[in-house]
Chains A and B, each alone.
Chain A
Amino acid sequence: MAEPSTHADPSRSDPVLDALAAAVGPIETSTFRGQTRVVIDAERSMESLRLLKEQGFDLLVDVSCVDYLEYKGAKHRYGLVYLLASTATNRRLTVRLFVDDPDPTVQSVVPLWGAANWLEREVWDLFGIRFTGHPDLRRLVMPEAFTAHPLRKDYPLQGRGERHNFPVLTRDDG
């Protein structure tokens, strides 16, 4: 991960991030290949994201998650990634926040962007991150009876045999 830099550097002043820092306290920002990333506090995610939406980021491009279980030097288990964009200025912003086991929970942003509905369901399904305040937090892609969260790093690629667990039909059954 990049060296975090506190957003106090006046040479990289940015009105949006300044407003965010003023509202929720110091934030970590970094830039890589021209993409601005900001790390916010998971406790105050709703407040921060609402402020960013008011600052013009009206399009939620993606909500995804990274499991840092095997990542060198990672301090937290899960990193949530919100990709925001503005349809007016075409600016993009990557917002990240970290949560940990045993009960990774974060506030749902469905009230802010309708697009978050299914994206958060997918994160819940594949990573097991619970979104409080989500209107309909069910599994999205895996069957309801499935118990694991397959995109976690401690889940094997070939699964744990769930894919072989079906009745076999022969010619006599038909």
Chain B
Amino acid sequence: MAVITGGNTGKLELPENVFVSKLDELANWCRKNSLWPMPFATACCGIELMATGASKHDLARFGAEVFRFSPRQCDLMIVAGRVVMKMLPVLQRIWLQMHEPKWCISMGACASTGGVFDTYAVVQGIDRFIPVDMYVPGCPPRPEQLIQAIIDLQDKIQREGTITGREFDTAERQRRKRALVEASELLTIDASRNPVIQRELTQIAGRN
């Protein structure tokens, strides 16, 4: 066990194998490398989902191979295939049964938009009824595409995740975005970055 010694220098000294990070970062790192997918496989995409997990493509290389069929044990729902009227209540119920933090990948054209099935029975995109984090295009997507989506989702979790799940609070996210837009105007006159102001300042300094 590493001992962090301050000594009487007043400085924090760390052994070489100890890192200091934010708690958020640590939690995100853990979460992104241990995604447990819940395969909500209804149609053709489900077979490609199987192909992704089976030999040759082998999803295990990316730390997301532990397919769990109980929603209570999963944190990533992969909706593979079209969802129809009779199925949607089931989908919503399973989504509610999953624990936070949870993410959703909408795999394939049918799950994302209804695909070629613009008919009376098919829901035209599951994002109308449940939150979706990642869309995978294709009909069906190749296994490589699904793997890329999972990698991208891992990136997203690492970048945006917070230990309290603030990133899921949509109102909060909107506020942050708006704040960013407003702040961008202020940033342009940031004295330390703005070359014009800097030049002015140096001229003033020269005169003195």
Residues of A within 8 A of B (CB): 141-143, 146, 150, 155-160, 162-164, 166-174
A157 vs B128: C-alpha distance when bound (angstroms): 20
Q: Are A163 and B123 in contact (CB under 8 A)?
A: yes
**Contact residues of B between 75 and 121, Cβ < 8 Å to A:** 85-86, 88-89, 92, 95-96, 98, 100, 102, 118-121
What are 21 contact pairs spanning A and B, CB under 8 A?
A141-B86, A143-B85, A143-B86, A146-B85, A156-B120, A158-B118, A159-B120, A162-B85, A162-B120, A163-B120, A163-B124, A166-B89, A166-B92, A168-B128, A169-B95, A169-B130, A169-B131, A171-B168, A172-B169, A174-B100, A174-B131
Report the minimum CB–CB distance from A167 to chain B (whole Å). 7
Residues of B within 8 A of A (CB): 85-86, 88-89, 92, 95-96, 98, 100, 102, 118-124, 128-131, 168-170
A90 vs B118: C-alpha distance when bound (angstroms): 39
A142 vs B118: C-alpha distance when bound (angstroms): 16
Having A164-B124, A170-B170, one finds 20 other A-B pairs with CB under 8 Å, namely: A141-B86, A142-B86, A150-B120, A156-B120, A157-B118, A157-B120, A158-B119, A159-B120, A160-B120, A162-B85, A162-B120, A163-B85, A163-B120, A163-B124, A167-B92, A169-B92, A169-B95, A169-B129, A169-B131, A171-B168
Ordered nearest first, which 10 A-B pairs have the shortest CB separation? A159-B120, A171-B168, A169-B130, A143-B86, A150-B120, A171-B131, A166-B129, A168-B129, A166-B88, A169-B92
A173 vs B131: C-alpha distance when bound (angstroms): 10
A155 vs B85: C-alpha distance when bound (angstroms): 17
Report the minimum CB–CB distance from A147 to chain B (whole Å). 12
Chain A, residue nearest B89 (CB)? A166
Report the minimum CB–CB distance from A50 to chain B (whole Å). 36
Q: Which residues of chain B have C-beta atoms less than 8 A from A160's C-beta?
A: 120
Report the minimum CB–CB distance from B12 to chain A (whole Å). 38
Q: Which residues of chain B have C-beta atoms less than 8 A from A158's C-beta?
A: 118-120
A170 vs B123: C-alpha distance when bound (angstroms): 17
Chain B, residue nearest A150 (CB)? B120
Chain B, residue nearest A148 (CB)? B120
Q: Are A142 and B121 in contact (CB under 8 A)?
A: yes
Q: Are B96 and A173 in contact (CB under 8 A)?
A: yes
A25 vs B51: C-alpha distance when bound (angstroms): 59
Q: Which residues of chain A have C-beta atoms less than 8 A from B85's C-beta?
A: 142-143, 146, 162-163
Q: Which residues of chain A have C-beta atoms less than 8 A from B89's C-beta?
A: 166
Q: Are B119 and A157 in contact (CB under 8 A)?
A: yes
A159 vs B118: C-alpha distance when bound (angstroms): 9
Q: Are A163 and B122 in contact (CB under 8 A)?
A: yes
Report the minimum CB–CB distance from B30 to chain A (whole Å). 21
A168 vs B89: C-alpha distance when bound (angstroms): 11
Q: Which residues of chain B have C-beta atoms less than 8 A from A143's C-beta?
A: 85-86
Q: Which residues of chain A have C-beta atoms less than 8 A from B168's C-beta?
A: 171
A25 vs B178: C-alpha distance when bound (angstroms): 82
A142 vs B122: C-alpha distance when bound (angstroms): 11
Known interface pairs A142-B86, A158-B118; A171-B124 also in contact (CB < 8 Å): no
Chain B, residue nearest A165 (CB)? B85
Report the minimum CB–CB distance from B111 to chain A (whole Å). 14
Report the minimum CB–CB distance from A164 to chain B (whole Å). 7
A159 vs B114: C-alpha distance when bound (angstroms): 14
Most buried by A among B85, B102, B131, B168: B85
Q: Which residues of chain A have C-beta atoms less than 8 A from B121's C-beta?
A: 142, 150, 159, 163
A167 vs B119: C-alpha distance when bound (angstroms): 20
Chain A, residue nearest B169 (CB)? A171
Report the minimum CB–CB distance from B121 to chain A (whole Å). 7
